[in-house]
Chains A and B, each alone.
Chain A
Amino acid sequence: MVTSGNPTIPANTIQVTAKAAKKVRQFAEGDGMETFGLKVAVKGGGCSGLTYVLDIVEGPEEDDKVIEQNGIEVYVPKKAYIYLAGTELDFSDGLNGKGFVFNNPNATKTCGCGESFGV
């Protein structure tokens, strides 16, 4: 098996931790959404060149790859998948928490604020 930076995550998927999935569910229910999924994508921009996109949406778009993780459907545009394969999405809370955190084995550098990365 080919593994990512985190040896427990296969390189051909994206993993959402239980903590991150719970937080997504809380946000969606807070917004009164009955059906929802988590859109995870990448767009150009940011100090290091590529920026993460994270959004709670009602359903997938035509070109999205759909992955089920911890009871959450994750939608990843196929063009963005190459930059995200093997990524773990976690949630860091508490006083020093950073919110949603991407542990992306494809990222060769990240900017200081952690919002963008380079490959």
Chain B
Amino acid sequence: MTTTNSLTYSPLRDAYPEGASYSDIGDRQVVAHFSDADAEYEAIASGATITDHSHLGRLTQVGSDAIDLLHRVTTANIEAIPVGGSTRTILASDRGRIVDVFRVVRTGDEELLLLGSGLFKSNLIEMIEFYTIIEDSTLTDVSESMLQLALAGPEAESLLASLVPAISELTAGGITDVDGVRYLRATSDEAEEFHLLMPADSGAELWKRLTDAGFTPIGSQAIHRRRIDLGIPCAGDDYSDRTNPLEVGLMDLIDFDKGCYVGQEVVARLDTYDKVQRTIVKVSSDDALISGEDVKLGTRTVGTIGSVISDADGTTALALIRNEFADGATALATESGTPIVISHRDQ
């Protein structure tokens, strides 16, 4: 773990319980764990947890052409999002590679809120601004003025509903505003969680209220492990501007009927002719694995290690592996000679 003075902390830092341990994510110091990382993992797997997501990217996009513009450049049907709804989408390059994966919330007739990875925020801003030529659309980075919390775990909904009954009425992707806090039900196939958005100066009070009510604060390590367990790829470790969305299981974020968007020709061709070369799988090893390390069959490179989590029992990771070796029938090892065992993401 490294610490440099140029890294910034969350505005909620003073509200955290004692003993937080930090790690670097991009240019931010993010809580790795508050106390025992294993206990935090158990909490997200079986209880109700709260996580500070203030290091992620939050942008507003406002203007009479904002929705049309984002519809034309990203993979999802943005025009179909009702006011008060949201969907996840991908901005890809013209070569069909991922710029960022983010959620688009339609907060008004001509207003959007974009919730992105944070790690690729500057790329997302740069690309949307590049495509904004004659359009009435203004992009603003509100990451510092707006905080974001995530509530997760099987008990999260019932516990939150006991405090904010209105969230029970929310459909998938829907938002509701209660007492200055915006609640979003961010459901996916793999997991259900709620995102809470609020002005930066009111975050500490809400954090205290939720932890007092029983939400267990957890850090990025437990989230990371849970995500790997569920086979959910993340920005940086598992996808980047060298990855196409189909390789990393993001097919559900692509509307194949909406018509053109940036990178559509490449993505559609890969899908139609079944030309996707790699697939994301879960792998394990008794020894340590390193994110970014090549996976080898003899001297041939057949994949790359992505997200990694280690514990006393060994290491679990996500990896991008060439399709012909992704069934686990062939013995593979990392470039440093560590044997790996493959299991598919849905097993």
Contact = CB atoms under 8 A, between A and B. Distances in A.
B134 A46 contact: no
Given A42-B133, A44-B69, A109-B94, A49 B262 contact: yes
Contact of A42 (B134, B260, B265, B266): B134
A80 B131 contact: no
Interface residues of A, number: 22
A45 B265 contact: no
Interface in B223-277: 260-266
Interface in A52-75: 53
B72 A77 contact: no
A10 interface: no
Contacts of B72: 43-46, 51
B132 interface: yes
Given A45-B73, A45-B260, A49-B94, A112 B131 contact: no
B124 to A, nearest CB: 13
Contacts of A46: 72, 260-262
B131 A49 contact: yes
Nearest to B129: A44
Contacts, number: 64
Contacts of A50: 131, 133
Interface residues of B, number: 17
A111 interface: yes
A5 interface: no
A115 B260 contact: yes
B94 A48 contact: yes
A105 interface: no
A43 B134 contact: yes
Interface in B115-140: 130-135
Interface in B126-157: 130-135
Contacts of A79: 133-134
Give the residue among A45, A51, A53, A83 with the most B Cβ atoms within 10 A: A45
B79 to A, nearest CB: 12
B260 A118 contact: no
Nearest to B69: A44
B262 A112 contact: no
A116 interface: yes
B133 A43 contact: yes
B134 A77 contact: yes
B50 to A, nearest CB: 38
A44 B265 contact: no
Nearest to B131: A44
15 contacts: A43-B131, A43-B134, A44-B69, A44-B72, A44-B132, A44-B135, A45-B72, A45-B131, A45-B260, A45-B261, A45-B262, A47-B94, A49-B262, A79-B133, A116-B260
Given A44-B262, A49-B94, 5 more contacts: A44-B72, A45-B72, A46-B72, A47-B263, A80-B134
The 6 closest A-B pairs by CB, nearest first: A44-B131, A45-B72, A47-B265, A49-B94, A46-B260, A47-B264
